[in-house]
Structure 1
Amino acid sequence: MSGSPRITFSRTKDGSLEIWMNPAGRDLLVSQLQGLSERSDHFHIMPEDMQPELPARSRAYGDGDEVIHWGKVLFRPDEWDQEHFPHVMGDADPGDR
């Protein structure tokens, strides 16, 4: 029983991102990610009543969690970033680990 996709994006009290989803939500998220390419380089995350590519639920799972209703996932080939955003290329910042 997978039902309709259910995906909730939230930020916890400590600032961590959590993505909660049922099996149908996982399948939709994976499908959207696999569909990214140089010709289709992004998709939107919006409240489900707006019928976006990836619908976001508005009910938090944890007390004090901040639900994230809006977002965008962008596909960035290395060549594009090397040309337009070279500062993101290379090793991760030591503070990011």
Structure 2
Amino acid sequence: MKPRVTFSLNNNGELEIWLNELGRDLLVEELRKLSKQNDHFHLQPEGFVDNVPTQGRAYREGDQVFEWGKVLFRPDEWDRKYFPHVLEPPSNSGG
């Protein structure tokens, strides 16, 4: 078998990641390789080089599948410098 990774939004707007064993192992391997020197990897349909291959077939009717994406490693020191707003506590304004 080959790795199978499917990213989709369900009817409730929740992100779901569907994986077989090889897909799980590949995704975890790529996540573990992230560092300041290797700060991202791509999620792309099969056939592209240096990526986690994604599947375009939804598991359920009505799900919205994402075949393209990018995972970015963001150390706190980088976010403090470039995107400090993401480190602020959430507001209690309700919305």
The alignment's TM-score, normalised by the length of structure 2, stands at 0.91
Runs of 4+ residues over 2 Å off in structure 1: 49-52, 90-96
2:62 aligned counterpart, secondary structure: coil
- Percent identity of paired positions between Structure 1 and Structure 2: 53
Which of 78, 81, 90 aligns to 1:80? It is: 78
Work out whether 1:90 is the aligned partner of 2:82.
no
RMSD after superposition: 1.6
Task: Report what 2:61 is aligned to.
Answer: 63
More divergent stretch after superposition (25-34 vs 3-12): 3-12
Q: Distance in 1 between matches of 2:75 and 2:30?
A: 17
**Structure 1 residues not aligned, in runs of 5+:** none
User: For each residue in 1:48-84, what CA deviation from the matched residue of structure 2 results, as whole angstroms up to 9, or x when unmatched?
Assistant: 1324410100110011001101100000000000000
The alignment's TM-score, normalised by the length of structure 1, stands at 0.89
